[in-house]
Amino acid sequence: MKVQFVDLKAQYQSIKDEVNEAIGGILQSCAFVNSRSFEAEFAQYIGSRHCVGVGNGTAALMMAMKCSGLGPGDEVITAANTFIATAEAISFTGATPVFVDCDPVSYNIDPARIEAAITDKTKAIVPVHLYGQPADMDPIMEIAKKHDLLVIEDCAQSHGATYRGKKAGTFGKAACFSFYPGKNLGAYGDAGAVATDDEALATEIRKLGDHGSNVKYQHDFVGINSRLDGIQGAVLSVKLRHLDKWSDRRIEVARMYNEGLKDVCVVPQTGTDVRHVFHLYVIQVNNRDELMAHLTEQGIACGIHYPVALPVSPAYADLGYHAEDFPVACGIADKIVSLPMHGDLTDEDVALVIEAVKSGAR
Ligand SMILES: *Cc1c(COP(=O)(O)O)cnc(C)c1O
């Protein structure tokens, strides 16, 4: 590949000394389990009172939901077009995901369609700040307030994004982050975190991830093992210092892509008063599969996020949804393609991508 989709090697080269030193420090101290200093730094970065590091983003979602009291018999509203982890976490608490179609411009859950999905079993809304752009939180919070629903944000793609001046992850009761290596803030393995202002919830999540315990061998309830390990925390502390600069570069690349591609395909649009951190740069074309073959042939990596909307995924067949009820999410699924996007793309890379899309998109 001439242009990588994400380039973790290039990123490592640019922070190698800092990262090696940080990992070396953990190896010296043998502080392998837990990562309190990163938790404190990340809480401060987001503007949350507490941050609890956990094993991965899916666990963060599941644990935040479980500790917020969601369980069997509850319905939880979320987006039809997200990575399956959002819905899996709902399912693993025993609650039922209720999918809502997305907005055709922002690709985020359409607030205008949420109320129709609310029943007397609805307990929560889980907006996903998809592709790095915050969901439309003002109307979502208004609906949640009106119907007394919990809001838990899926921030796996939106580290550092803002909505009306506030960071994504500071609107709901809890915000769940993934630090999977390819995310905007990525560890060198699996990692995740929950940010919240609610001290009791933070304590409960920490206990759940440590076998129902906060005093060794005193188990108040049946928990699991899901903690942020020390080496990952050290890597994340280093990378957090670079995150805003990397996001700025992503935004700059998106601006160049938009400029070069706006006449050949549907380019992403950023809402007003929003910082879209472009975890993914997604365009729509009429000849998606053909374009992807063309890009691959030209040495340009690309992907689809996501090829199947969750209501029509085999994993959720038992819920009995129909594609017709999700005209936007199901309609775009065979038009969307994600172009290379990361903080180490050069202007030459960007020019190559633009030329290749221009010569292949219909
Ligand atoms: C990556 C991702 C997750 C899951 O995170 P993991 O760390 O891979 O478990 C959840 N939701 C969304 C939207 C994601 O992109």
pLDDT digits (tens, 9 = 90+) for 151-192: 999 999 999 999 999 999 999 999 999 999 999 999 999 999
Q: State the sign of the Cα–Cα–Cα–Cα dihedral 247, 248, 252, 255.
A: positive
Distance 85 CA to ligand 1 centre (A): 6
Q: Given a cut of 90, is residue 198 above it in pLDDT?
A: yes
The average pLDDT across 29-42 equals 95
Which residue is closest in CA terms to ligand 1's atom 2? Answer: 156
Ligand 1 atom 14, closest CA: 156
Using only C-alpha atoms, what is the Rg of the chain? 20
Q: What CA–CA distances, in Å, run from 52 to 8, 31, 121, 213?
A: 25, 17, 29, 14
Orientation angle between helical segments 84-93 and 57-67, nearest 10 degrees? 40
How many angstroms separate the first and last alpha carbons of the chain?
A: 23
Pairing of strands 162-163, 274-275: antiparallel
Percent of the chain with pLDDT over 90: 99
Evaluate: CB of 86 within 6 angstroms of ligand 1: yes
Residue 47, C-beta contacts closer than 8 angstroms, at least 6 positions apart: 166, 167, 170
pLDDT averaged over every residue in the chain:
98
Give the position, in ligand 1's atom list, of the atom nearest the Cα of 56.
7
- Predicted pLDDT of residue 34: 84
pTM (predicted TM-score): 0.98
Mean pLDDT of 21-28: 97
Q: What is the pLDDT of residue 208?
A: 98
Determine whether 21 is exposed, middle or buried from the number of CB atoms within 10 Å of its CB (0-12, 13-18, 19+). exposed
Tell me: the pLDDT tens digits for 253-278?
Answer: 999 999 999 999 999 999 999 999 99
- Does pLDDT of 233 surpass 90? yes
Gap from CA of 99 to ligand 1 centroid (Å): 17
